[in-house]
Amino acid sequence: MKFGAYESITENFLPHKVQAQNNARLPSEISISVTELNSPIAASSIRAFVAAIADEVGGAYLMPNSAGRVFYFDSINNQFNGLSEIRPCGSAVRISKNQIFTTPVSTTSGNRSLIIYDTLRDRAIVVGLGSDVAELFPARVVFERAALGKDGKVYISTDRFGGLVYDPATDTAAALPFREGADDESYSGVTPLPDGRILFVNRRANRARIYDPAEQTYTYSQPIGDDATNRYLASSRLPNGDVVFIQNGSRRLGKYHISSGLFTDRDKGSGAQGYATAALSGDSWLVFAPSFSGKPVCVYDHIRDVLVDSSYVAPVNNCFYASCTLSDGRVLILPDQYDRAVVVATSARRHTSNETTHARSRYW
């Protein structure tokens, strides 16, 4: 599989029948329902939550970036309940039914331990053999996002020096290797690929890299698109294994194609409307949360390669940096600085099989 190549879009670039991809059918229209929820979450001058971790009973645990307290969202009663205090988190990911792994905000934070939050007992447990993460890096590092790999290890993107990996099986943490002379590489989005490799998205340049845990090596991409300012803050994997990159500040989307190993980039519309997080709804539409106040929630229709705004429903008056898919298929989106969360539901009326017989699509 060729990796790191960039290819311009042409009219005959990889055409295929839509039905050939997971037997998908083109939707005639997508309905987006956006509900704003009043909550007791205190407003903060900096980001309130860094992650939302869904459980099997319809709720979600909200991991604090600054508030210092875990909250639980009860989706049945639409209530937010305060739980135990915990040190501010830089990133978080669920690693088992009752365990949420978290990092500190940075290596210069007051509490620099790796912590697992036990949802069953509502308490924080220091892990990583009690190590100080500052000892793993030569200078200050900010932890961005975390993801659970196919090998059961946690991979964390950082603003420099390669990243961090935590192995729950051995309770050990280590810094990931980075390219010599590239200590300023800043990676935000981190997404596991179906084959076990880990895709990191660069937030300072229009490049990405893939880490192979088996070989402990990186492969770096060529520029994704022609614009060097395409800086992506997050990423999300589609049902077919492709990865979409989310840019904060515009409607440009990048994409990694798992079948070909190609990276592509395309402008999906003009205007200042960036996205900082996304989650798949229960019917597999990718829901983007706006990072600008007053902008609409957006759904990416990956079958037709279009963005669908919820502006005809209602714009969202907050900025959002964390989201998750609830067990009922709705998407919970958490606020940046305000006391109002959002729940998004999507649905689509689909064409019949006869209507999709001749439907065709292509990669970006």
DSSP assignment of 32-96? EEEEEEE--PPP-SS--EEEEEE-TTS-EEEEESSS-EEEEEETTTTEEEEEEE---EEEEEEEE
Closest residue by Cα to residue 149 from 200, 202, 79, 90: 200
What mean pLDDT do residues 5-31 have? 35
The pLDDT of 242-249, averaged and rounded, is 79
* Tokens of residue 35, six digits: 């509900």
The average confidence (pLDDT) of the chain is 77
Q: Compute the average pLDDT of residues 288-312.
A: 78
Q: What's the average model confidence in pLDDT over 223-239? A: 69
Position 42 confidence tier, pLDDT thresholds 50, 70, 90: low
| pLDDT band at residue 80 under the 50/70/90 scheme | confident
**Strand order through the sheet with 298-301:** 275-280, 286-290, 298-301, 306-309
Backbone angles phi, psi at 128, to 5 degrees: 65, 35
Write out pLDDT tens, residues 177-222: 766 655 556 777 899 999 999 998 876 666 788 899 998 888 877 6
β-strand partners of 259: none
Residue 354, pLDDT > 90, answer no
Architecture of 5-362 per CATH?
7 Propeller (2.130)
Beta carbons within 8 Å of 295's beta carbon, 6+ residues apart: 273, 315, 316
- Percent of the chain whose predicted confidence (pLDDT) is above 70: 72
Mean per-residue pLDDT for 76-85? 88
Angle at 158 between CA 208 and CA 138, to 5 degrees: 120
